[in-house]
């Protein structure tokens, strides 16, 4: 487990760069659906994840749409491609880093604008149950917004 | 566990498994763990107790040791007394020590208390400091505000000063202008005085001329009379027979110069006086509700009768053309007609809702027109004794005259003359004058109308042109009231009117100058009537008197 | 139904005997403290019941080094945010009684465990899972329409182990008749050393038949052949609430009755005992 996490941390920078590219592609084409996933499929970094997962999903990355709620600052790029097996806390760490949060700032993530998933929940699991239109919508805010 | 009976349904299987689970996992261990927990608790209790006892034991052991040492030392000493003394001393010292300890404790307590107090004070001080800082901030804010306000005040003062300066400048301008005004006023007065002076001089000269003229005429007359007296021809009989019935035509009226007689005619005001068409008698009407008939004989006035019936003061009088009827207007809102022969009241014409100030016969003496303060004129038919027409004049009527059988001219409070045709409702014409119209009188030739107004002037209106042809006024002449009456002389050469100051003014129409001022009344003169023969004038005043003016 | 009520009652009564010991290397003063025995409700979470354990051990550890207490079984850190029953079924295979758990006060495995700063953290985690379950069952309508005091009652019912208090509220969430029929079954399938599986699964087939536990397992394994599945099942045990429900049991019924208080049906797939090496 710890090895995997380390590798995730190492990948962090290239992954976000990639997702930026993907994001640009998506914006240019104004297409929200299957298009980005096709470009993602030949990604080599996702392979170990799929093999360990044993469920052979059709895609290894998920489009996550990050929306601010309440007083949260807006992110310039809202849509990111994230590995299926990345946990929710990875996403929140990414947002904190992106928005240059200080250590004392807290961040809350919400699915369906109703519940906040456990930080160790995998993004893929959430996408399977709560994704729509080929993407997973997560709301983030600095204070507790729902429930 | 995996093996299960086929006969059981899944649910029963499930329940069975659950029960089994709880039996093996839970119930088996429940009592065990409960007792374990209880034991553990007891153990921990016992452990703490044992620790306590150990501590106790330790303490006791120490005490024991101490005692033993004491016993040993006690046994070693020789003299018990000394020991006792020492012990006592020790005891005392110990007591002292405890006392000191206690004191020290109290002191330290005090110190603690003081410290606490100190802390409190410090806190208070801090609080005060905070307050002070706040106040300073507030003071600063107030000071800046004050500065702002001062600036505003300065500004305002500057503005004020400016305005004051302006005001002063204006005041200066005003005073100079006022000064100029006063000067010009003085100048004006001086000029007027000079003018008046010149005028009175002129008048004196004229009077002198007149006097000399009259004296010459009188002398001439006397001479003629003397001559006539010599020739004793009795033609007077004939002349007298001719007089009654035919209205005299006066070719030349003379202006009397003195009062022939003066007497109390009524109680209170005498409002109206009028000669009959033949000039043989005159009637006067007063505030005492009576009309009295008078004949002038041998320089005396003889009462020929009193007409009664009015319920309030008489305001106007008129004889019909034949001299058989007397028409009187009254303040009791009515007009009345008396017959002269039997001196009886014939008609009472009621219908106005205000005092009636004017009444005249209209046309052939079968009709009467009256003007009232109810702002209407009413035309009455004496045969039916009914009002046949009401004219809404729009203003109180003070006097009226009739012309050519159907035309009526009324003079009003609103300074207007109105011309009416008895056959139609609307005015044919209006003339606006400078003052309230008080009386109207037609000239003998019926071509001009005399109006007296409250602006203290008399006006002659040319009825053919409908415009003012001449104006008469005089120093000291002042209309006496709203119903003061002025008249033409029977020859149409003079006009006469009474004044507020009790004088009777006579103007010459051709010269437009005052011909004569006759003074014998003590009160304002209200009405004047000129004998149709032209030789005498009768005037009445506000207080009882009637004066007959004649030279003979 | 009385039977179903009995099932709920039995589920609630499930408790596991646990023997807590302090990790030897962390003993600081004196001798190794006595183990602490506790009967822990399956439905509960460890931090709700281990206050006494912590108090018992804390005297024996280095006061300067001691941090948040965490638990471990045979080298496996135990996640506090999983129900106790799930942890037990997954790691012990159900036959290690009493369950020997080691308590630690040092070396918190940051990568694997979440911190549990307070009871409120457990409550908010619990309520979040309940909401997630309701989002699957009823699109979140029931739980969001509930009053705050109902949420509180749900939590205190669990915290104080009060069956009636808990179920008087929970039965509204478990309503599955008529229009309120569960849209999807909230379930999670756990296997050792693997993230749990959670997917959308409808309680009835398109033909209107009830989906069974077997159908659920088949759908989760996706493309695997039936042979493979049978083989898999031959070597594995499917544990829910510590028992192996018959595979023909309808999943809807399981969800209604065998779900944990967080409204999820937690399913553990473990190796059969004889196959363990």
Q: List, in sequence order, every residue forming a beta bridge with C190; answer none if it has no partner.
A: C268
pLDDT digits (tens, 9 = 90+) for B357-384: 999 998 777 889 999 999 999 999 888 8
**Cβ neighbours of C195 in A, within 8 Å:** 53, 85, 122, 125
pLDDT of residue C126: 93
pLDDT of residue B183: 95
Contact C128 A55 (CB under 8 A): no
Q: Which residue of A has its CA nearest to C198?
A: A125
Contact C140 A114 (CB under 8 A): yes
B191 touches C at CB < 8 Å: no
pLDDT of residue A17: 40
pLDDT digits (tens, 9 = 90+) for A127-145: 988 888 888 999 988 887 7
* Average pLDDT of every residue of chain B: 87
Tokens of B370: 């009256």
- Whether B356 and B371 have beta carbons less than 8 Å apart is answered as yes
pLDDT of residue B7: 39
CA distance to partner chain C, nearest, from residue B62 (Å):
26
Handedness of CA B177, B183, B189, B191 (dihedral sign): negative
pLDDT of residue C55: 87
Tokens of C79: 């996640």
**∠ CA(B371), CA(B373), CA(B375), 5° rounding?**
75
Beta strands in A30-129 (DSSP E): 61-68, 79-83, 108-111
pLDDT digits (tens, 9 = 90+) for C117-143: 888 999 999 999 999 999 998 888 888
Residue A20 pLDDT more than 50?
no
pTM of the model: 0.47
* Average pLDDT of every residue of chain C: 85
pLDDT of residue C237: 86
- Whether C119 and C48 have beta carbons less than 8 Å apart is answered as yes
A143 touches C at CB < 8 Å: no
C17 touches B at CB < 8 Å: yes
Of C125, C135, C198, the CB nearest to A128: C198
What is the rounded CA–CA span in Å between residue B354 and residue B374? 5
C100 touches B at CB < 8 Å: no
Q: Which of B74-78, B484-488, C20-24 has the weakest average pLDDT? A: B74-78
Contact B22 C245 (CB under 8 A): no
Residues 65-104 on A with a CB inside 8 Å of C are: 85
Q: Which residues contact A22 (CB under 8 A, 6 or more apart)?
A: A36, A39, A40, A63, A79, A80, A81
The distance of Cα C272 from the centroid of its chain, to the nearest Å, equals 20
DSSP-assigned letter for residue B289: S
Contact A125 C196 (CB under 8 A): yes
pLDDT tier, A23 (very low <50, low <70, confident <90, very high otherwise):
very low
Chains that touch B (3 or more CB pairs under 8 A): C
Task: Using a pLDDT cut of 70, give the percent of chain C over it.
Answer: 91
pLDDT tier, C276 (very low <50, low <70, confident <90, very high otherwise):
very low
Residue B319 pLDDT more than 80?
yes
For the residues C225-252, what does the mean pLDDT come to? 77
Tokens of B115: 């410290």
Sheet holding B545-550, edge to edge: B259-264, B545-550, B536-541, B525-530
Residue A61 pLDDT more than 50?
yes
pLDDT of residue B231: 64
Closest CA to B473 of B431, B517, B436, B443: B517
pLDDT tier, B62 (very low <50, low <70, confident <90, very high otherwise):
very high
pLDDT of residue A13: 39
**∠ CA(B16), CA(B21), CA(B27), 5° rounding?**
115
Contact B26 C249 (CB under 8 A): no
Contact B4 C16 (CB under 8 A): no
C6 touches B at CB < 8 Å: yes
Q: Which of A21-25, A111-115, A120-124, B163-167 has the weakest average pLDDT? A: A21-25
**Cβ neighbours of C131 in A, within 8 Å:** 114-115, 147
**Complex confidence, ipTM:** 0.73
Residue C211 pLDDT more than 50?
yes
Beta strands in B176-332 (DSSP E): 259-264, 270-275, 281-286, 291-297, 300-307, 314-319, 325-330
Residue A121 pLDDT more than 50?
yes
pLDDT digits (tens, 9 = 90+) for B278-292: 888 899 998 888 999
Residue B234 pLDDT more than 90?
no
Residue A2 pLDDT more than 70?
no
pLDDT of residue C140: 81
pLDDT tier, A14 (very low <50, low <70, confident <90, very high otherwise):
very low
pLDDT tier, B228 (very low <50, low <70, confident <90, very high otherwise):
confident
Contact C125 A118 (CB under 8 A): yes
Closest CA to A70 of A124, A142, A147, A136: A142
pLDDT digits (tens, 9 = 90+) for B170-197: 999 999 999 999 999 999 999 999 999 9
Measured from the Cβ of residue A75, the count of other Cβ atoms closer than 10 Å reads 15
CA distance to partner chain B, nearest, from residue C147 (Å):
33
pLDDT tier, B249 (very low <50, low <70, confident <90, very high otherwise):
low
Residues 114-173 on C with a CB inside 8 Å of B are: none
What is the rounded CA–CA span in Å between residue B256 and residue B252? 13
Bond preceding residue A144 cis, omega within 30 of 0: no
Contact C79 A117 (CB under 8 A): no
pLDDT tier, B164 (very low <50, low <70, confident <90, very high otherwise):
very high
pLDDT digits (tens, 9 = 90+) for C148-158: 899 999 999 99
Residue B73 pLDDT more than 80?
no
pLDDT of residue B323: 83
pLDDT digits (tens, 9 = 90+) for B529-539: 988 888 889 99
Of residues B226 and B83, more confidence is placed in B226
Contact B40 C36 (CB under 8 A): yes
A1 touches C at CB < 8 Å: yes
pLDDT digits (tens, 9 = 90+) for B74-89: 655 456 677 788 888 9
Measured from the Cβ of residue B182, the count of other Cβ atoms closer than 10 Å reads 10
What is the rounded CA–CA span in Å between residue B175 and residue B170? 9
Half-sphere exposure of B440 (CA within 13 A, CB side): 33
Of residues B546 and B405, more confidence is placed in B546
pLDDT digits (tens, 9 = 90+) for B92-110: 999 999 999 999 999 999 9
pLDDT of residue B5: 41
pLDDT digits (tens, 9 = 90+) for B487-526: 998 888 899 998 888 888 999 888 888 888 888 888 899 9
């Amino acid at each position: 487990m710890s090895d995997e996490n380390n590798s995730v941390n190492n990948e962090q920078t290239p992954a976000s760069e990639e997702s930026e590219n993907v994001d640009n592609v998506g914006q240019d084409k104004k297409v929200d659906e299957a298009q980005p996933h096709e470009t993602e499929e030949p990604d080599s970094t996702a392979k170990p994840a799929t093999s360990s997962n044993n469920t052979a999903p059709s895609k290894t990355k998920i489009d996550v749409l990050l929306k601010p709620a309440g007083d949260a600052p807006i992110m310039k790029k809202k849509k990111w491609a994230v590995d299926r097996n990345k946990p929710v806390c990875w996403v929140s760490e990414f947002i904190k880093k992106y928005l240059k949060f200080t250590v004392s700032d807290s961040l809350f993530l919400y699915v369906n604008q109703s519940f906040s998933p456990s930080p160790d929940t995998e993004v893929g699991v959430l996408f399977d149950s709560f994704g729509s239109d080929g993407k997973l919508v997560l709301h983030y805010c600095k204070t507790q917004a729902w429930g | 566990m995996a093996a299960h009976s086929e006969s059981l349904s899944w649910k029963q299987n499930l329940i069975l498994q659950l029960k089994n689970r709880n039996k093996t996992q839970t119930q088996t261990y429940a009592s065990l763990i409960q007792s374990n927990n209880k034991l553990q608790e007891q153990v921990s209790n016992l452990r703490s107790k044992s620790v306590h006892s150990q501590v106790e034991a330790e303490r006791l052991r120490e005490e024991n040791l101490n005692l033993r040492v004491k016993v040993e030392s006690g046994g070693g000493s020789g003299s018990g007394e000394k020991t006792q003394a020492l012990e006592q001393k020790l005891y005392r010292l110990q007591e002292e020590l405890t006392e000191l300890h206690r004191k020290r404790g109290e002191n330290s307590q005090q110190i603690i208390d003081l410290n606490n107090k100190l802390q409190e004070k410090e806190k208070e001080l801090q609080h005060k400091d905070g307050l002070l800082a706040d106040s300073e901030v507030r003071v600063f804010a107030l000071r800046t505000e004050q500065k702002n306000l001062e600036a505003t005040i300065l500004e305002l003062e500057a503005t004020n000063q400016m305005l004051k300066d302006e005001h002063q400048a204006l005041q200066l301008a005003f005073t100079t202008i006022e000064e100029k005004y006063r000067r010009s006023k003085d100048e004006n007065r001086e000029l007027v005085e000079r003018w008046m002076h010149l005028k009175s001089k002129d008048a004196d000269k004229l009077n002198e001329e007149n006097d000399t003229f009259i004296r010459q005429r009188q002398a001439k007359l006397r001479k003629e009379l003397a001559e006539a007296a010599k020739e004793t021809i009795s033609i007077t009989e004939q002349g007298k027979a001719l007089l009654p019935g035919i209205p005299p035509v006066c070719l030349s009226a003379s202006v009397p110069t003195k009062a022939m007689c003066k007497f109390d005619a009524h109680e209170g005001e005498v409002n109206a006086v009028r000669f009959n068409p033949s000039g043989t008698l005159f009637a006067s009407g007063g505030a005492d509700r009576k009309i009295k008939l008078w004949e002038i004989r041998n320089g005396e006035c003889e009462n020929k009768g009193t007409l009664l019936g009015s319920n309030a003061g008489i305001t106007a009088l008129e004889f019909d053309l034949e001299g058989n009827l007397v028409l009187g207007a009254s303040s009791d809102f009515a007009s009345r007609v008396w017959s002269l022969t039997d001196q009886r009241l014939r008609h009472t014409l009621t219908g106005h809702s205000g005092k009636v100030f004017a009444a005249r016969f209209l046309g052939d003496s079968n009709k009467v027109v009256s003007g009232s303060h109810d702002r209407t004129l009413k035309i009455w038919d004496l045969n039916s004794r009914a009002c046949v027409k009401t004219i809404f004049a729009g203003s109180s009527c003070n006097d009226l005259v009739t012309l050519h059988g159907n035309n009526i001219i009324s003079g009003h409070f609103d300074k207007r003359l109105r011309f009416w045709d008895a056959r139609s409702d609307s005015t044919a014409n209006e003339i606006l004058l400078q003052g309230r119209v008080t009386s109207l009188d037609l000239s003998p030739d019926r071509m001009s109308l005399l109006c007296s107004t409250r602006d203290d002037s008399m006006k002659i209106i040319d009825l053919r042109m409908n415009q003012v042809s001449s104006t008469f006024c005089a120093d000291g002449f002042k209309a006496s009231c709203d119903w003061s009456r002025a008249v033409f002389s029977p020859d149409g050469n003079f006009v006469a009117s009474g004044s507020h100051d009790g004088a009777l003014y006579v103007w010459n129409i051709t010269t437009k100058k005052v011909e004569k001022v006759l003074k014998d009344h003590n009160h304002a003169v209200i009405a004047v009537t000129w004998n149709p023969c032209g030789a005498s004038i009768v005037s009445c005043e506000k207080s009882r008197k009637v004066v007959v003016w004649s030279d003979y | 139904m009385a039977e179903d009520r009995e099932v709920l009652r039995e589920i609630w009564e499930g408790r596991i005997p646990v023997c807590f010991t302090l990790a030897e290397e962390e003993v600081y003063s004196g001798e190794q403290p006595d183990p602490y025995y506790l009967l822990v409700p399956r439905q509960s979470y460890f931090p709700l019941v281990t206050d006494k354990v912590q108090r018992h051990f804390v005297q024996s550890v280095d006061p300067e080094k001691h941090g948040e207490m965490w638990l471990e079984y045979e080298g496996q850190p135990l996640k506090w945010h999983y129900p106790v029953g799930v942890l037990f079924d997954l790691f012990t295979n159900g036959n290690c009684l009493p369950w020997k758990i080691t308590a630690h006060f040092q070396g918190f495995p940051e990568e694997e465990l979440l911190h549990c700063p307070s009871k409120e953290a457990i409550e908010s985690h619990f309520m979040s899972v309940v909401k997630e379950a309701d989002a699957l069952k009823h699109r979140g309508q029931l739980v969001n329409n509930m009053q705050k005091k109902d949420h509180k009652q749900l939590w205190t019912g669990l915290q104080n182990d009060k069956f009636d208090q808990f179920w008087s509220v929970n039965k509204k969430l478990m309503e599955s008749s008529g229009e309120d029929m569960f849209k999807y079954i909230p379930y999670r399938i756990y296997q050792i050393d693997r993230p749990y599986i959670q997917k959308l699964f409808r309680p009835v087939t398109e033909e209107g038949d009830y989906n069974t536990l077997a159908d659920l397992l088949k759908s989760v394994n996706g493309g695997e052949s039936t042979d493979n599945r049978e083989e898999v099942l031959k070597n594995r045990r499917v544990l829910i609430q510590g028992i192996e429900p018959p595979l023909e049991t309808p999943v809807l019924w399981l969800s209604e009755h065998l779900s944990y208080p967080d409204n999820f049906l937690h399913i553990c797939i473990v190796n059969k005992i004889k196959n363990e090496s």
